Amino acid sequence: MNTVATESEAPRPVILVVEDEAGIAETIHYALASDGFAPEVCATARQAIERFTAEPPALAILDVGLPDMNGFELFRRLQDLPGGKQVPMLFLTARSSEIDRVVGLELGADDYVAKPFSPRELVARVRVILRRSQRLATPPVEPMGSEANEPLALEKK
């Protein structure tokens, strides 16, 4: 078993999962949770908007076929919420048709996964997207300890 102490100490990134099919939602929840994420499942677009409004997640996975709203429409609504444009989003497309994928990517989604999908592949995609977005968002890190060393050099009068 691989245990990485530093990973368990870091806050788990919240992944909003919007999926109305309970079986699929459970599979995704399990795969994400066992990989160090904090998944939160919503079965409807309305719930997802409420959840997102309360606090934007680290990433959102949107099913295209939702009972109360098309996933593409939900994507647009989430993007318009405060902080919405900073949250990477990935579509789950039910059909193998190219149309869903193309529309999703044209809207500006970060990725899509076609059902049926491998939970491992989905989690891997989530990791890649998060790494990419963190690299863009995080400013260069200054070397640690430089502050502690500096006063010695500055004390020369």
- Interface residue list for Ca ion (CB under 5 A): 20, 63, 65
Closest residue to bound Ca ion by CB = 65
The first and second tokens of residue 97, run together, are 């048709």
Query: How far is Cα of residue 58 from the mean position of the Cα atoms in its chain?
Result: 5
Rounded least distance, CB 64 to Ca ion, Å: 7
Kindly tell me which of 107 and 130 has the beta carbon lying closer to Ca ion: 107
Q: Which is nearer to Ca ion, 40 or 63 (CB)?
A: 63
Please state the closest distance from residue 46 (CB atom) to Ca ion, in A: 15
CA distance 16 to 28: 11
Dist. CA 138–CA 53, nearest whole Å: 23
Which is closer to Ca ion, CB of 35 or CB of 100? 100
Q: Give how far the C-alpha of residue 53 lies from the chain's centroid of Cα atoms, to the nearest Å.
A: 15
Least distance from Ca ion to the Cβ atom of residue 125, Å: 18
Smallest gap, in angstroms, from Cβ of residue 128 to Ca ion? 24
What is the nearest approach in angstroms of Ca ion to the Cβ of residue 21? 5
* Comparison of 13 and 65: residue with beta carbon closer to Ca ion: 65
∠ CA 106-112-117, nearest 5°, is 155
The DSSP code sequence of 25-70 is HHHHHHHHHTTT-EEEEESSHHHHHHHHHHS--SEEEEESB-SSSB
**63/110 with CB nearer Ca ion:** 63
Q: φ, ψ for residue 27 (rounded to 5)?
A: -60, -45
